[in-house]
Amino acid sequence: MICSYCRSDNKGNVQCDFCGAPLRQIRPKVKNMVTLDMCELPFGQLITFHTYDLLLLLRLVRQERTNAYDLMRTVQKAPEDVLVDKDTLTFAEEQYRLYTKRMKVIEGILIDRMGYKPKRVDNQLLAKLKSRLA
């Protein structure tokens, strides 16, 4: 088996004889499409995503978190003559907390890989990374 890091040939080992890298570990590849539903995947699966895909997913989760926050604040600041049931307010708060936790998980993975979490994931950042991948 050929090591994906140092390209040395190894004979049926689990670890590379030269650099010690695991030989059976699959390196992440860029996916064709990233959806918001993917943020619900467990940590073990998220860690296998390519950094580019994690940035896209972070952007989606941050946007959804912002939407949940706006909904929560709108419900909280509703005029007193408008009746808002407690379930609606609870749902809005739970959604905000849920997306905050998911955002933190993705940011943590990115910190481990990149050494920082991007303040903003915009088209310019994604384009730079995409050009380096080609």
Q: What is the pLDDT of residues 91-133, one digit of tens each?
A: 889 999 999 999 999 999 999 999 999 999 999 988 998 888 8
pLDDT of residue 45: 92
133 and 52 in contact (C-beta within 8 Å)? yes
Give the 3-state secondary structure of residue 22. Answer: strand
CA–CA distance, 69 with 52 (Å, rounded to integer): 26
CB 118 within 8 A of CB 57: no
pTM: 0.82
Q: What's the rounded Cα separation, in Å, for the pair 95 and 87? A: 12
Distance separating alpha carbons of residues 39 and 130, to the nearest angstrom: 21
At 52, list the tokens.
């580019």
CA distance 24 to 123: 34
Please check the confidence at residue 13 and state whether its pLDDT lies above 80: no
Work out the pLDDT band at 85, boundaries 50, 70, 90.
confident
**What pLDDT score does 74 carry?**
85
